Amino acid sequence: MTATFVFNEINFDDHEQVVFASEPKSGLKAIIAVHNTNLGPAMGGCRMWNYASEAEAVRDVLRLSRGMTYKNAVAGLPIGGGKSVIIGNPKTDKTPALFEALGVALERLGGRYVTAEDIGTSPADMANVAHKTKYVAGLGDRGDPSPFTALGCFVGAQAAVRHHLKRDSMEGLTVALQGLGHVGYDYARRLHAAGAKLIVTDIDQAALQRAQEELNAEVVAVDAIYDVEADIYAPCALGATVNPDTLTRLKAKIIAGAANNQLATAEMGVACREKGILYAPDFVINAGGIIKVCYEYLNTPEDGMDAHVRRIADTLAEVFTRADAEGLPTSVVADRIAEAKFKQ
């Protein structure tokens, strides 16, 4: 791999710094990407994934790092955007020494990047990172951020319903929810309490059974979720589920979910608008978790944290109104709002 490859990568987007960290004794192979620090130190999680190649890992970390800059800026947080990835199998390759080696690499950066858990890593892993650096957040000692992500998604969905369906209530609406992990299930619970009908899918049979029993949810096959007659499609698992194949099948009027990078390509934002679907940009609606993690790391008094998460609804209302007025996809408007905050 050459430097030219990194600079020419489509997601490079003027990253300030990309660090390749290697430590032979522990087996660490990690990439740390710092996208933008105009608003403060870069913050974003550490993902561990069994990437097929180093090039794939580079693509992923650059894409995720850039996304964190936009998410953190639009959420009104005094932090920039960054991300790290560890190349390896999270089920078989984890050791305390591996994460301590990552901590050493972070310490060398002197606070330009602060990490946290992400897919494939846990609060216990972050505790091992913390043995070697203070630049780690979300250690789990002050609660799971998932409920705050779910809260942001719920108030964001309410904002979308008010704008697009001209309704103040979720009562009687049908939501096709994909993914019943920590965030997805909590989001589903809030929707159920508000009177929505749930149609759900997941690969975890235990989660599906729990949703049936506790939330009176209807279960469909994984691929069938795109064909459901629903008012809201809520992607809460993998990214890129809004793509040319699925968009032709979607019957929902609103897309409002917790997953990252929901649009397979930027063109999908235009396609949603042309189809009359209101898309709640993912990095706006799912920012509740990073808001909580940031409050904890900066020791900000938490009495204002719930209100900060609920302001996601106000931000989305602004996005929707501007998109209508300017004739633009909501994804483009959200990008512009973020860029106005972090580009200097």
In the predicted structure, residue 2 carries a pLDDT above the cut 90 = no
Map residue 87 onto helix, strand or coil: strand
The vertex-325 CA angle with 176 and 170, nearest 5°, equals 30
The predicted model gives 320-332 an average pLDDT of 99
Parallel, antiparallel or unpaired: strands 218-219 and 197-201: parallel
> The pTM is what?
0.93
What is the model's pLDDT at position 69?
97
CB 244 within 8 A of CB 275: no
Tokens matching residue 143: 């609660």
What is the model's pLDDT at position 86?
99
Domains of the chain by start residue, with CATH: 3-69+79-129 (3.40.50.10860), 146-342 (3.40.50.720)
In the predicted structure, residue 191 carries a pLDDT above the cut 90 = yes
What is the model's pLDDT at position 5?
66
What is the model's pLDDT at position 141?
72
The predicted model gives 264-272 an average pLDDT of 97
* Sign for the pseudo-dihedral over CA of 178, 335, 160, 300: positive
The predicted model gives 217-229 an average pLDDT of 98
Residues 6 or more apart whose CB falls under 8 angstroms from that of 127 comprise 139, 140
The predicted model gives 88-92 an average pLDDT of 96
Q: Using CA atoms in the order 86, 90, 95, 99, what is the torsion angle rounded to 10 degrees?
A: 30
Parallel, antiparallel or unpaired: strands 254-255 and 278-279: parallel
Higher pLDDT, 9 or 215: 215
Nearest Cα residue to 68 out of 48, 39, 104: 39
State how far the Cα of 60 lies from the Cα of 65, in Å rounded to an integer: 8
The predicted model gives 166-175 an average pLDDT of 98
The predicted model gives 302-328 an average pLDDT of 98
The residue whose two tokens read 């940009």 is: 281
Q: Is residue 83 annotated as part of the catalytic site, yes or no?
A: yes
What is the model's pLDDT at position 4?
56
Per annotation, catalytic residue among 29, 71, 83, 292: 83
